[in-house]
């Protein structure tokens, strides 16, 4: 790429891998955009001092989100489609990470408010963006075939972000806060 700007999107469209153009508010761009936003938000969380094991997990997640985004940006299984590395093994790895982290946390007995440390709050926010990315991928799946493993991955990822937020806050000795449900 000679320059970052191409001017091809000035008409409100963007190109997918393979050359197809879609509007910037299409289900393709909504799904890919929310994955990109999630990846960037995880990058922001990683910019803080995180335990090494948490940073390692999040770096792998960022790589996998990039792979998923590339897969979704190829309409109809174009011959230029990248070979996806996301499968059942990656979901099992997320589940193993979730279980290992949960074993170090107090069991939840009530809802908690998102927040805590800066990194913990950003991971809580990443959980909500992961849920939106999942919803956007479900919407895209109504018009394009999406491998079900992608939806399962995003569902587990939101759970991982939740337990990582709790773990990071615990590591920084920040107590969880609970909603009062109108009681003050």
Q: How far is CA 11 from CA 22, 33, 53, in A?
A: 11, 18, 44
Q: Under a CB-based contact definition with an 8 Å cutoff, are residues 50 and 80 in contact?
A: no
- For residue 113, being part of any structural domain is answered with yes
- For residue 15, being part of any structural domain is answered with no
Q: Under a CB-based contact definition with an 8 Å cutoff, are residues 94 and 160 in contact?
A: yes
Question: Is it the case that residue 63 has pLDDT exceeding 80?
Answer: yes
Q: What is the pTM of this model?
A: 0.87
Residue 78 is predicted with a pLDDT of 52
Question: Is it the case that residue 46 has pLDDT exceeding 60?
Answer: yes
How many structural domains are present in the chain? 1
Average pLDDT, stretch 76-87? 65
Domain span holding position 148: 22-74+87-171
Average pLDDT, stretch 135-154? 94
- For residue 29, being part of any structural domain is answered with yes
Cα 158 to chain centroid distance, Å, stands at 7
Question: Is it the case that residue 80 has pLDDT exceeding 60?
Answer: no
Question: Is it the case that residue 17 has pLDDT exceeding 90?
Answer: no
Predicted confidence band at 147 (pLDDT cuts at 50, 70, 90)?
A: very high
For 94-109, how does the pLDDT look when each residue is reduced to its tens digit (9 = 90+)? 999 999 999 999 999 9
CATH number of the domain that residue 102 is part of = 1.20.1200.10
Higher pLDDT, 150 or 73: 150
């Amino acid at each position: 790429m000679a320059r970052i700007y191409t001017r091809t999107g000035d008409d409100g469209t963007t190109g997918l891998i393979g050359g197809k153009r879609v509007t910037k508010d299409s289900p393709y761009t909504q799904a890919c955009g929310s994955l990109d936003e999630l990846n960037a938000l995880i990058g922001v969380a990683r910019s803080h001092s995180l335990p090494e094991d948490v940073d390692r997990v999040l770096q792998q997640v960022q790589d996998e989100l990039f792979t998923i985004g590339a897969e979704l940006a190829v309409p109809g299984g174009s011959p230029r489609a990248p070979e996806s590395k996301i499968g059942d093994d990656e979901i099992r790895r997320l589940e193993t990470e979730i279980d290992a982290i949960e074993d170090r946390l107090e069991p939840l007995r009530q809802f908690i408010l998102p927040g805590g440390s800066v990194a913990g709050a950003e991971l809580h926010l990443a959980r909500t963006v992961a849920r939106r990315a999942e919803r956007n991928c479900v919407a895209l799946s109504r018009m394009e075939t999406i491998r079900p493993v992608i939806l399962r991955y995003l569902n587990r990822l939101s759970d991982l972000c939740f337990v990582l937020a709790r773990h990071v806050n615990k590591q920084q000795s920040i107590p969880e806060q609970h909603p009062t449900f109108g009681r003050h």
